[in-house]
Amino acid sequence: MIVLINVTVGNCLDDSTRNVILSCDSLDVDVLNNLGVMADIFVKLCEWSQERIVSVEKIKPINISSDKECYGIVEGVFS
């Protein structure tokens, strides 16, 4: 099973916001620490899929703070 995910970390209004494509087989501890609750979702998806992420589709923003920080999760294709 393949899970496709892309997480945006940073300010929604800032052009320097970076898109991080996370791979289940190489979890970046620093990135996960910055993601907060999104990291938990990602790790659970990894455990469930047992596959690495290979590509990304569209992003679905999830605003979980009031200071314009932006977190998002992509709608992926599960196969």
pLDDT at 74: 44
Strand bridging mode 7-11 / 69-74: antiparallel
Q: What is the pTM of this model?
A: 0.32
On whether residue 79 sits in a domain, the answer given is no
| Domain carrying residue 21 | 7-74
CA distance linking residue 79 with residue 68, whole number of Å: 34
Instruction: Look at the chain and report how many structural domains it folds into.
Output: 1
pLDDT at 49: 55
On whether residue 14 sits in a domain, the answer given is yes
Write out residues in the chain with pLDDT < 70, as ranges: 1-79
CA distance linking residue 48 with residue 62, whole number of Å: 21
